[in-house]
Amino acid sequence: MPRASKNKVSKDIKREIEEALFWFLSKELKNSKSARYFLEEFLTKEERMMLGKRLFVGYLVRSGLTLRGISSILKVSINTVLRGSSRLGKQAGYREIIEKLVKRENSKEFDKKIEKILRRVFPITRSDWSKFSGRSGDPS
C-alpha cells in the first residue's frame, strides 16, 4: 500500500505540485509509450494497481456488472465498488473519463483486455457473463 510522507507540505505547495503534474500529464504524455514510461517509472506496482482498479471499477459499474461481481473480479471490497459507483454520480471528472472510455471507438479493444483478465480469474464463457451483469451474453 502506498504511503504518504509524515512530513506535510503546505496547501499552497501541494496545489502547485498538483498543477505542475496536471500540466505535465496533459502536455507531455502524447503517446502510449510516454504514458507507459511515466506509469512504470514514477508509480510503484501498488500505485499502478490501485489506479487501474479505480479505472476498472468505474468502467465495470458503467458497463452494468453487479457490485458483487465487480468485487469478486477485482478482489476489492463491496465498499470500494460502492465508492467507485458513487464517484460516477458525484465527480464530474471521474464520470467524464469513464464515459470517454465507454464511448471510445476502440472500447471494444478495452473490453477484450478486460475479458482477458476476467478469463484468467474466472474461466467463463460469454454466456456466463450474465452472472456478473444485468445483461446476458456479451459484456460489451
Element (H, E) at 40: helix 32-42
- Distance CA(44)–CA(1), nearest Å, equals 9
Helix, strand or coil, per DSSP, at residue 91? coil
- Distance CA(24)–CA(31), nearest Å, equals 13
What is the full per-residue pLDDT of the chain (140 aa) written as tens digits?
556 677 888 888 889 988 998 888 888 777 788 888 888 888 899 998 988 898 889 988 988 889 998 998 888 999 999 999 999 889 999 899 888 877 775 567 777 777 777 777 666 555 555 555 544 444 44
User: What cell was used for 44?
Assistant: 510503484
Indicate the pTM of the whole model.
0.67
Nearest to 50 by CA among 17, 28, 75: 75
What pLDDT score does 77 carry? 93
Neighbours of 81 (CB within 10 A): 25
